[in-house]
Amino acid sequence: MRWAGLLFWLVLCFGVAAIGGRWTAAEIPGWYRTLARPSFAPPNWVFGPVWTLLYALMAVAAWQTWSQAPSPTRTLALGLFLAQLALNLAWSWVFFHQHAIGVALAEVIVLWAAIGVTALAFARVSHLAAWMMTPYLVWVTFASVLNAGFWRLN
């Protein structure tokens, strides 16, 4: 049962990644390529490996939390995780599919806060799970600054 739980969280996180990636990939050769890029924007090939690692860490962190004894604290932490995962997916829709860079900036700030709250909630259940969310929070911090750069330039 424990390994089935890991599989569930991996499928969920990478399912979100696949949907968001589809919206993103469709816009890279067209709309995204026409945008003025901030000087600190990494090359496009960086995003795939980084997000793959982050989604894997998110899935394992959720699994680690889910694997702990049932409690209201665990339930809240997993609910917050699902909320931030939905916000993660929403950002791809808003930025890449809707081309709403300013709205995406506001959304990514909410996402950043949701990741932080989730990590704090995870810490009450599993310190390891909370630490596994740290690279994600750091990357979304960078992504927020990058989004702001795109908004300023475009």
pLDDT of 89 over the 70 cut: yes
Q: Per the structure, how many domains does the chain have?
A: 1
Residues 127-151 have a mean pLDDT of 98
The pLDDT assigned to 49 comes to: 98
Rounded to whole angstroms, the Cα distance separating 47 from 49 reads 6
What's the CA angle centered on 90, arms 146 and 5, to 5 degrees?
Answer: 110
Q: Determine the residue type at 15.
A: G
Contacts of 121 (CB under 8 A, 6+ apart): 73, 76, 77, 80, 81
Band the pLDDT of 2: cuts 50, 70, 90. confident
Nearest to residue 129, comparing CAs of 143, 115, 142, 140?
Answer: 115
Rounded to whole angstroms, the Cα distance separating 31 from 126 reads 42
Rounded to whole angstroms, the Cα distance separating 27 from 142 reads 21
pLDDT of 57 over the 70 cut: yes
Give the percent of the chain with pLDDT over 90: 98
Residues 130-153 have a mean pLDDT of 98
Query: Domain range for residue 143?
Result: 2-153
Rounded to whole angstroms, the Cα distance separating 122 from 135 reads 14
The pLDDT assigned to 1 comes to: 67
Which parts of 67-92 fold into alpha helices (H)?
72-92
pLDDT of 138 over the 80 cut: yes
pTM: predicted TM-score of the whole model, two decimal places:
0.96
Residues 32-52 pLDDT 10s: 999 999 999 999 999 999 999
Provide the mean pLDDT of the chain. 97
Residues 8-19 pLDDT 10s: 999 999 999 999
Rounded to whole angstroms, the Cα distance separating 34 from 152 reads 15
Instruction: Check which CATH number belongs to the domain holding 48 and give it.
Output: 1.20.1260.100
Contacts of 117 (CB under 8 A, 6+ apart): 80, 84
